[in-house]
Structure 1
Amino acid sequence: MSDRRASFPAPSPLSILLALALLALGACGDDDGPGPTGDAGPGVDASAPFDGGGGEADAATEPDAGAPADAAPDGGTDAGMDAGPPCACPTLPTTCTGPVAGPVFSPEDPAFGEQLMEVLACADESLHMALYLPGWDCIGDALADKLEADEDIVMEIVVDDDQCPTFGGTRDCDMLRGIADHPRVTIVDDDRSALMHHKYIVADGTSVWVSSANMTEDSFCEDLNNSVVIDDATIVGRFEEVFQRMFTDGSFGPVEPEGVTESAPYRLYFSPESPISSPSGWFTALTDAIAEAETSVDVMIFALTRGEISEALVAAHERGVEVRVLSSFRFGGEAAIQTLQDAGIDARVADVHHKVMILDGETVATGSANWSMNAWSNSENSLWIADADVASAFTDELDRVWATASPAE
């Protein structure tokens, strides 16, 4: 029998280069959404750079629709980067002693992982989780342990469909793969081009864990993140309301502007709001707060790509307000950062994945949203805390990192 082989023309050098380029772009995630050549969604400037890294489209290692095209998603590791040595998996306590309220910070403080584990351990009835990037099998193991230890616990989870897709009936994300088929676990996808970028967990309807961290090893072990636990009934109720809108109603917005939820010392905003071509309520609150700052504005932000923010910071600097900006090294070269430096503002970079502003040493804005183009169309939260002790804890963290951070360039 003759050996018959099909004959194909040899690929040209140009076609090889194009194929490699497409593969490289496909491997890149971004914390705020699709990249410059991707579908940014209606009302979004498709030319805006990605705003993400670490596995989150709009976060440090997550993709962000304001981040450069070669940035990785938030909470993950950029392709080709050395993820560093693994850190110990946080473990689920056998008894509930109650989570610290925080704030706590990764990766230096062991309390960061312990706080989350206590939230899981102390839940008696339900865990409602809105998680952009569920990528760390260690946390999946803790959830499996919780299901085994507590026969009454029910877990309802909302995820971004691009970060935890289903292929052949199997969830393709390390954290949820082992529990996705459990009878007391239900997972809902956002199924849209914009991101479900939240990172929060409501436990028993009585407390909420709110973080800048994705459920990834990078977010817990490498990136600079923060988390708090809130038990204020009004704030917890609002987080639960938005969760049910996503999980039960399958509605991810945009919605008509709903305003701010207030319960001293907290203020809480959600997006997306209609129209997504206009600033979300939390974004307007940021620029207004900078305009009203009297003594200082300290920033720790994964992605700052919005010119409105940099212009507000420059105006504050010019009227004598002390301004410090600590951003991710992935975004040190952005035009918004260059604007700050041109005005004489000290801007530095580190492995930041926070989304934090500290105003006059008294109020902190934190949550899930980067200050980028796609954040207006993403599902985001912005939690404000008017508490000098909380602000002091965040300032101490910034001071610690600031001392060894590099100049932005």
Structure 2
Amino acid sequence: LSDPGGKAVDRVDAWYAGRNLTKQTMQRYTADLPGTDPAAWVDGPVGGTPQNAAGWAWPSEPVAFALYFTDNITSTGPSPAPTPMEQALLALLNGAQDSVHAALYALDRASIRDALIAARGRGVEVQVVADDDAYAESQYYPHFRALEQAGIPLVLDNRSSLMHNKFLVVDGQAVWTGSTNMTDTCFTYNHNNSLVLTSTQVAYAYNLEFHEMFALGRFGRAKADNTPHQFGGEGAPLEVYFAPTDGVESQILEEVARADQTIAFATFFFTSQALADALIHEAGQGVAVRGLWDRLGAANASSQDERLCAAGIPVKVEDFGGKLHHKFMVIDPEGEDPTVITGSANWSASGTDQNDENLVILHDAAAAQRYYAEWEKMWNALGGHTLCWPTGVPSLFLPLVGASWASG
């Protein structure tokens, strides 16, 4: 690359990215680094061309998704027994042919560890980003070290805030994400949800985020809001945002403000006053709001459960064996814009403004009804002693056929 006077100002001397198997071009990621620096380049979209690889203007493609929930209401402790959610992830990893890029907060599930090592062994490019504090914990360290000893490169965030993601990008075509850490406890004792998003464009966005952390060593506010956010064609049925750069909390607040009928949420930690304000406002406008809280999260001095309860919003604080580790909200599952909000971020200053996290917003009736069914199953499994409901039973909540209003 030369300036108008013919002076060379940049150059590239090798193929630093691009994949023949998936037909991904080599795309310039940043002009802040010289073209001879491998970190200046990323793989373009799967099936990319020189015409569409340099920007977001590719033809829109539909996004296929699969939803998974743990089934741990009666669990008495962590177990090595395989679960349907785990088996779905293993099928994805065992089918990887080209690349697995994993951003993992915690890892002690032997099957996942071994699947990553096996992928590396059959020639798949496996790369991992992890949180430095979690990496050093005694229960996780042997498993992360096993990856490194198998030749898998691993980059730590080395900062006080968390690299709290739980996502994997496979072959530039599918993304696994959600609230589930790769641990015995999260698969078999805690309550979690995971999604597989099959879309080369969604995978590309997650790979850009991964590249910032793995190749450039940028975490937290050192990253940029530089990924596409809307996918799936007209109406943007899927949105993806990354914390702390992409305004995650403001995206949640925008969806809450659009509610017409109902909001149901399940949360681990919820200390955001702005989100509590928004829910109280919507309840005052006639939207029926209910919430499920983890008891550890509810015990936090800044937790908003008592404030919502005092405002007349029905809240239950769980007494399950494992943690209610979800971070999801269902809005208007039978309305005009049925919406699911989920991901890795707790609804707190750390979760939205400091940690490395990801947020998924699905505008889809089937997804919203499936998440609501999971929410209602947990609500109905909790006894009346877990309920804070100071103003009595509301006359209307969710207009779902066969919905149960029992507080038990």
Give the equivalent residue in structure 2 for 1:309: 275
In 2: Cα distance, 1:241 partner to 1:260 partner: 10
TM-score between the two structures when normalised by the length of structure 1: 0.69
Secondary structure of 2:135's partner? Answer: coil
Give the equivalent residue in structure 2 for 1:324: 290
Give the equivalent residue in structure 2 for 1:251: 218
Give the equivalent residue in structure 1 for 2:134: 163
In 1: Cα distance, 2:387 partner to 2:143 partner: 34
Give the equivalent residue in structure 2 for 1:107: 71
Instruction: Name the aligned partner's letter for residue 68 of structure 2.
Output: V
- Partner residue of 2:312 out of 344, 364, 369: 344
**Please, which runs of 5 or more residues in structure 1 have no aligned partner?**
1-99, 274-279
**For residues 126-162 of structure 1, what are the alpha-carbon distances to aligned partners after superposition, in whole Å with 9 as ceiling and x for unaligned?**
11000011233332233334444xx211210000011
Give the equivalent residue in structure 1 for 2:164: 197
2:143 paired with 1:175: yes
Instruction: Name the aligned partner's letter for residue 285 of structure 2.
Output: R
Give the equivalent residue in structure 2 for 1:8: none
**Structure 1 residues 146, 186: CA separation in 2 closer, same or farther (over 3 Å shift)?**
same
In 2: Cα distance, 1:217 partner to 1:347 partner: 28
What is the alpha-carbon root mean square deviation over aligned residues?
Answer: 2.2
2:105 paired with 1:128: no
Task: State the 1:253 CA deviation.
Answer: 3.2
In 1: Cα distance, 2:359 partner to 2:127 partner: 22
Structure 1 residues 141-156: aligned runs within 5 Å: 141-148=114-121, 151-156=122-127
In 2: Cα distance, 1:166 partner to 1:218 partner: 15
Secondary structure of 1:179's partner? Answer: helix
Instruction: Name the aligned partner's letter for residue 67 of structure 2.
Output: P
Secondary structure of 1:102's partner? Answer: strand
In 1: Cα distance, 2:94 partner to 2:186 partner: 21
Instruction: Name the aligned partner's letter for residue 165 of structure 1.
Output: A
Task: State the 1:114 CA deviation.
Answer: 1.2
In 2: Cα distance, 1:354 partner to 1:106 partner: 10
Give the equivalent residue in structure 2 for 1:299: 265
* Aligned-residue identity in percent: 30
**Contact persistence 2:342–2:360 (CA under 8 A):** yes
Structure 1 residues 10-49: aligned runs within 5 Å: none
In 1: Cα distance, 2:130 partner to 2:297 partner: 26
**For residues 159-206 of structure 1, what are the alpha-carbon distances to aligned partners after superposition, in whole Å with 9 as ceiling and x for unaligned?**
001111399xxx9624323231223x1101111111101100000111
In 2: Cα distance, 1:140 partner to 1:338 partner: 40
Give the equivalent residue in structure 2 for 1:388: 365
Aligned length, in residue pairs: 298
TM-score between the two structures when normalised by the length of structure 2: 0.69
Give the equivalent residue in structure 1 for 2:89: 116
**Contact persistence 1:205–1:240 (CA under 8 A):** yes
**Contact persistence 1:136–1:174 (CA under 8 A):** no
**Contact persistence 1:140–1:174 (CA under 8 A):** no
Secondary structure of 1:191's partner? Answer: coil
- Partner residue of 2:350 out of 349, 363, 374: 374
In 2: Cα distance, 1:107 partner to 1:175 partner: 25
- Partner residue of 2:254 out of 288, 291, 300: 288
**Contact persistence 1:107–1:224 (CA under 8 A):** yes
In 2: Cα distance, 1:222 partner to 1:208 partner: 24
**Contact persistence 1:198–1:380 (CA under 8 A):** yes
2:325 paired with 1:353: yes
**Structure 1 residues 288, 121: CA separation in 2 closer, same or farther (over 3 Å shift)?**
same
Q: Which moved more, 1:371-380 or 1:342-351?
A: 342-351
**Structure 1 residues 232, 144: CA separation in 2 closer, same or farther (over 3 Å shift)?**
closer
Task: State the 1:233 CA deviation.
Answer: 2.1
**Structure 1 residues 326, 245: CA separation in 2 closer, same or farther (over 3 Å shift)?**
same
**For residues 96-129 of structure 1, what are the alpha-carbon distances to aligned partners after superposition, in whole Å with 9 as ceiling and x for unaligned?**
xxxx942110135932111111111110011100
Task: State the 1:258 CA deviation.
Answer: 4.7
Instruction: Name the aligned partner's letter for residue 208 of structure 2.
Output: E
Give the equivalent residue in structure 2 for 1:21: none
Q: Which moved more, 1:106-115 or 1:118-127?
A: 106-115
